[in-house]
Amino acid sequence: MKLSIEQLDLGGRRVFLRADLNVPLDGDAVTDDTRLTGVIPTIEYALGKGAAVVLASHLGRPKGTPSPEYSLRPVAERLGALLGRPIALAPDCVGEETEARARALQPGEILLLENLRFHAEEEANDDGFARQLAALADCYVNDAFAAAHRAHASIEAITHHLKPAAAGLLMRRELEALTRILESPERPVVAILGGAKVSDKLALVEHLLERVDAILIGGGMAFTFLRAMGHDVGRSLVEADRLDTARGVLESARRRGVQLVLPVDAVVAAGVDSSEGRAVGIREIPDTQMGLDIGPLTIDRFAVALRRARTVVWNGPMGVFEKTPFAAGTLALARAVAEGAAFSVVGGGDTVAAVSRAGVAERIGYISTAGGAFLEFLEGRTLPGVAALTEAA
């Protein structure tokens, strides 16, 4: 169990709060403030306990040099509006002026550092750069689970110089939800996996086979498994170099008694830009067509498995859901997850977007803000940002 911000004495202290404020921008406008609202409870908690907050994040990929289009200024303005208080933006994340401004902070004040990735030392996990960051505060809190799989200076190296290192409220909830489904889930446990490629999810599938009762596989990755079983899937996406791997997964699932459920029908079309698709059985996919969504029989089949579940984890859409003709499968699955009695955890940008689009986000047990970190945690990997946190007494 990692130390939480709630276990820190914050009165009169400066908290270095590493957040994930990597939001999409259209010019100077934040187009999705989900990540900003996610960190607000931790900021308000720290301020309410009498701390000053030194807030830090990356934005985009400026390649280690200052770049105006990657400035956090629009973030400071939008976050300040959400919080109802001004947020000052430092001219840099290190340096004499930034240090002076951090030292001058009074309880209840927030200083947002400029983009950490304006310095190449951030992604290099440079110890000297981490020391400079550590000099800005008295204790460290990480609320950026979405970046916890990165061994970067503000995530890992800083914790060697700024202790204690605690989890923020969002980080704590992420860890509790993911640990619950991996270590102490209520059974049956059903995993739903989608997305384009088997290769992207191979480690995840293999790890989940040891922990779940059923895996429902949709999206492009399903066609590699179907081809491995001998089905002709037309022009559907198939990773030919992963067919033996897919056969190995199928055999491992059979040996372990894990139900691996694949589509029995698909919505097919000539390509992703087609204006409509039609549902056909898996054995009836024309040579000139490709599968772009799961079909209605598969939706029903998956829904039956979900009704029996008591724990559900979902990553990856069931088709090209950003295209209206091929969205029905993913949206129907989102509704089926929401309607079930299971504790559900959903992660990954596309999957979270689908749950929101289906209008059922408030009925999901936990929605993870992370993509890569979500997958790596489920794969059983050690995340540098989590490992770096202080163990609770």
Tell me the catalytic residues. Answer: 35, 197, 349, 372
| Alpha-carbon distances of 221 from 42, 149, 218, 258, 372, rounded to whole Å | 38, 24, 7, 18, 18
Question: Between vectors from CA 7 to CA 5 and to CA 11, what angle results, nearest 5°?
Answer: 80
CA 159/CA 60 separation, integer angstroms: 23
CA 368/CA 347 separation, integer angstroms: 5
Report which DSSP code applies to 287: T
Burial profile 81-118: b = 16 or more Cβ within 10 angstroms, e = fewer: ebeeeebebbeebbeeebeebbeebebebbbbbbbbbb
Report the residue count for the chain: 393
Two structure tokens written together for 177: 């939800």
Two structure tokens written together for 106: 């009074």
Closest CA relative to residue 123, chosen from 150, 146, 149: 150
Complete edge-to-edge strand list for the sheet that includes strand 165-167: 88-89, 110-112, 52-56, 14-18, 139-142, 165-167
Beta bridge partners of 312: 190, 344
CA 22/CA 341 separation, integer angstroms: 33
Q: How buried is residue 138: exposed, middle or buried, by Cβ count under 10 Å (0-12/13-18/19+)?
A: middle
Cα atoms in the 13 Å half-sphere on the side-chain side of 302: 30
